[in-house]
Structure 1
Amino acid sequence: MTDTTPSPLIPPEPPPIRNAEFKAALLLALMVALLLGAVLYLMYARGAFEATQTLLLQADDSEGVVVGMDVTFAGFPVGRVRRIELAEDGKARIVVDVPRKDAHWLRTTSIFTLERGLVGGARLRAYSGIPTDPPLADGAVRALLVGDAGAEIPRLLAAAKELLQNLSSLTAENSALEASLRNVKGMTDKINGPAGAMGLLAGDDKQAQQLVERANKLLVTVDALALKADSLIGNADRRVFGKDGVMTDAQATVVQLNALLADARASLKKMDAVLVEAQAVGANARVATADLGSLRAEVESSLRRVEQLVNEINRKWPFKRDTEIKLP
C-alpha cells in the first residue's frame, strides 16, 4: 500500500530585512543618546552644572555624615556634602558645595551644627543670626558644632546609677537617715509624754518636773510683781491726775502764772508809754524818772511773784523750762 498521509507544510522563509545593520546601529545610537540624556538630566538636577562655592566644615568625627547629605537653612537645602576627608590634624573635614544663588544666606557669623538624634539620621544645619554681616567667602573653613543626644545616654546612666547607690546608702539599716529618724521618733515620744516639751529640754522626767515647779513659782512671782506694778501705777495716776493731784495744782499754778504774766505785760506797756513820754518831753525828765522808778518797782514786784510761782511749780512738778524773763 502506498502512504497517503499528507506531508506538513513548510512555511516560506521571510524576506530579508532591508538595511538591517543600519537600523540596528541607529537603534543602538538612540539608546546611547537616551542614556546620555538621562545622565545629563540627572547631573543637572543634582546641580552638577550649577555655579557653586566651597565650604569646609571641621569636626572631631564625621559619624552620621554621608556624601550627598544636604546642609539646610531654615528647613531649606542650601548646600550638599561633596566629600568627606581626614585632615592633617586628625579631624574630619567635610567639603560642602554651596550654590551661588543660595550662598547669600551664609554669613561670616553663621553657625553650623551636626545634630544626631536618638531616632533618624544626622542633620547638618546652618544658622545666621545677623543677616547684615558680610557673606561667607569661597573656601571658608568653619568649625562644626556636634550635638549628639546618644552620647548623653552613658552619662545619664552613670548619674542614675550613682543616684541609686546614694539612695540605697541613705535607706540602709544603719544609715545616718535611719538614725536621724529614730532620734526624731524619740523626740516625738518625749513631747507626747507627761512632761511634754519640758521633758525634751531636761532630758529626764524628774528634772523636767523640777523645771515645771520652778517655772510655776516664777509665774506666781511674776503675777505678784504685776499686781504690785498695777497698784503703783494706780497710785501714781491718782497722785498725778486725781482730783487733788499734782496736775491739778500745776494747772492752778499755771493759771496764776498766766495772770501774773498778764500783769507784767501791762506794766511793761505802761513803762514803754512813760519812756516815750520821757523822750518827748525833756523838761519833765525828773517827773518821768520818778514815774519810771515807781513802774520799775511795780514790774520788779510782779517778777518776784512770777519767780515765786515758778519755784513752787518746780517744787511740785519737775518742769524743765527756761523760766528766765528778759526785760526790754
Structure 2
Amino acid sequence: MNEPTPAPAAPAPEAAPVRHAEFKAALLLLLMVALVASAVLYLMYARGAFEPTQRLVLTTDNSEGVAVGMDMTFAGFPVGRVLRIELGADGKARVLVDVPEKDAHWLRSTSIFTLERGLVGGARLRAFSGIPTDPPLKDGAERELLVGDAAAEIPRLLSAAKDLLNNVAALTAADSSLGNSLRNVEGVTEKLNGPGGAMGLIAGEDRKAQELLRNANSLIVKADKLVGNADNRVFGKNGVANDAQVAVVQLNGLLSDARASLKKMDAVLVEAQAVGANARVATEDLGALRADVDSNLRRIEQLVNEINRKWPFKREDTEIKLP
C-alpha cells in the first residue's frame, strides 16, 4: 500500500529589519561607558581621591609588611593612606602617607608612628598623639617610624628556652650537685632509720655510737643520783627547807615584837603632838605679853622725854634699853 507523501512546510516569515540599529548600538555603548565612568568617579570620591590632603613621610630601616593603600589608623579610625614606598639615598625606606586635611588635626608635632607586625595577620600602621594641645603636624613633615616585630622575638625566646633546658639537664644529671645532695640525704635517712638512730648519725660509726650511748646512760644515772641527793638535802628531815621554815617562824616573832614597839611609839608621838600644841599656845600668849610690855615702855619713854623737856636744869640723856 502506497503511503501519502507529506505536504511541503510553509517557509518562515522573514524578520523585519531594525531601524537605526547602528545608532542604537553606539548609544548603548556610550551609556555603558558613562555608567562605568560614573562608578569609577564615585569610587574615587568615596576613597577620598578628590579630598585635599597633606603629605607625611615616615622613614624606617625595614618596610616589610607595609603595602600601598594600607590605612594609617588613629584610635582605631583610618586617618591616612599609604601612597607610595620608596628607598631613600641614605638606605632607609620612605613611606609616603596622604592624610586628609579634615583628619590632619589629630596628628601633632609630638605624635609617634609605629609599625606593628604580629604573629597572626598583617602589619598595622598606627599613630599616637599624647598631647592634643601641641602644634599640628606640618605638611611634608618627615618622622621616624618605630617598628615592633613580634616574630623577631622568637629566636631570642628559643635561645632562652634552650639555655633553660640545658640548665635543667645539668641539674638532673647523675653527677650533678643536686644528685649528690639527694644521695647524701638518702644516706642520712638510712642512718636515722638504722639501729643507732640520731646518735649513730652524730657519732658516725656504730661502735662509737654504742660508746656514746653508754656514756649517755651513765651520765643519766649520775644525774638521777644527784637529783635524789639534792631532794634529800633540801626537803629531807634536816634539810635546808626545814631550817628555812624555822627561820621564817622566828622572823614572824621578831616582826610581831617590832609591830608592838611601833604601836607604843605611836602613843608617844601622840603625846608629843599634844605637848607641842600647848607650847604653841603658850608662845602665842608670850607674844601678846611682849606687845603689852613694849607699849608700856614706849609710854614711859615719852613721859621721861616730856619731863626732861620741862625740867629747867640740864641733865645727861638717859637711854632706856628695851629687852
> Normalized against structure 1, the TM-score is what?
0.67
Distance 2:66 2:52 in 1: 23
CA distance in 2, matches of 1:182, 1:224: 44
Quote the Cα distance in structure 2 between the aligned partners of 1:39 and 1:238. 127
- In structure 2, the residue matched to 1:66 is 67
Give the 3-state SS of the residue equivalent to 2:279 in structure 1: helix
The residue type paired with residue 100 of structure 2 is P
Q: Which residue of 2 aligns with 1:273?
A: 277
Matched, 1:52 2:56: no
* Alignment match of 1:244 (pick from 240, 249, 252): 249
Partner-residue secondary structure (3-state), 1:50: coil
**Separation (CA, whole Å) in 2 of partners of 1:143 and 1:229:** 95
Q: Secondary structure at the match of 2:79?
A: strand
> For 1:207, what is the secondary structure of its paired residue?
helix
Find the aligned partners of 1:163 and 1:104 in 2 and give their Cα distance: 50
Give the whole-Å Cα distance in 1 for the aligned partners of 2:110 and 2:232: 83
Paired residue secondary structure (2:102): helix
Residue by residue, what CA displacement relative to the aligned partner does 1:66-117 show, whole Å, maximum 9, x if unpaired?
1111122332222212222334443333222222322333344544332222
Distance 1:133 1:60, change over 3 A: same
Given the alignment, which residue of 260, 263, 273 partners 1:259? 263
Task: Measure how far apart 1:243 and its partner are.
Answer: 6.2
Is 2:104 the partner of 1:118?
no
Provide structure 1 residue ranges, at least 5 long, that are not aligned to the other structure.
1-5, 286-328
Secondary structure at the aligned position of 1:158 is classed as: helix
CA distance in 2, matches of 1:241, 1:213: 44
Contact 1:114/1:124 (CA < 8 Å) preserved in 2? Answer: yes
* Letter aligned with residue 169 of structure 1: A
Corresponding letter in the other structure for 1:184: V
- The separation in 2 between residues aligned to 1:226 and 1:131, in whole angstroms, is 90
- Secondary structure in structure 2 of the residue aligned to 1:177: helix
Give 1:29 deviation, angstroms: 5.0
**Equivalent residue for 2:172?**
171
Matches within 5 A, 1:93-108: 93-108=94-109
**CA pair 110-16 structure 1, distance change in 2 beyond 3 A:** closer
- Partners in 2 of 1:230 and 1:129 — Cα distance? 92
AA of the residue aligned to 2:256: A
Measured in 2, the distance between the counterparts of 1:88 and 1:240 equals 113
SS of corresponding position for 2:69:
coil
Are the structure 2 counterparts of residues 111 and 263 from structure 1 closer, same or farther at C-alpha, using a change threshold of 3 Å? Answer: farther
C-alpha displacement of 1:259: 2.0
Per-residue deviation, residues 130-162 of structure 1 (Å, max 9, x unmatched): 555554444444443322221122122222222
Counterparts of 1:135 and 1:224, CA distance in 2: 100
Distance 1:256 1:157, change over 3 A: same
CA deviation digits over 1:257-300, x for unaligned, max 9?
642552354244234314313422339x9xxxxxxxxxxxxxxx
Question: For this pair of structures, how many residues does the alignment match?
Answer: 276
With over 3 angstroms needed to count, the CA separation of the structure-2 counterparts of 1:260 and 1:74, relative to structure 1, is farther
Task: Return the TM-score normalized by structure 2.
Answer: 0.68
* Structure 2: distance between partners of 1:62 and 1:216: 87
The whole-number CA distance in structure 2 between the counterparts of 1:108 and 1:237 is: 102
Q: CA deviation at 1:218?
A: 4.1
Q: Cα–Cα, structure 1 residues 275 and 62, in superposed 2: closer, same or farther, change >3 Å? A: farther
CA–CA distance in 1 between the matches of 2:179 and 2:278? 103
Alpha-carbon displacement from aligned partner over 1:164-213 (angstroms, at most 9, x marks no partner): 22222222232222222211111111111111122222222222223333
Partner of 2:198: 197
Kindly tell me: are residues 38 and 184 of structure 1, through their superposed partners in 2, closer, same or farther at Cα, counting changes over 3 Å? same
CA separation of 1:160 and 1:19: change in aligned 2, threshold 3 A: closer
Specify the alignment match of 2:209 in structure 1: 208
Distance 1:40 1:190 in 2: 95
CA distance in 1, matches of 2:95, 2:206: 82
Q: Is the 8 A contact 1:113 1:125 kept in 2?
A: yes
Structure 2 residues not aligned, in runs of 5+: 1-7, 290-323
Contact 1:107/1:134 (<8 A) preserved: yes
CA–CA separation in structure 1 for the residues paired with 2:63 and 2:90: 14
Structure 1, 22-31 or 254-263: larger mean CA deviation:
22-31
* Aligned equivalent of 2:77: 76
| 1:144–1:267 CA distance, 2 compared to 1 (3 A) | farther
Partners of 2:266 and 2:138 in 1: CA distance: 104
Task: Select the structure of larger CA radius of gyration.
Answer: 2
2: CA distance, partners of 1:237 / 1:94? 109
Measure the CA separation in 1 of the matches of 2:147 and 2:126. 10
- Structure 1 271/106 Cα, relative in aligned 2: closer, same or farther at 3 Å? farther
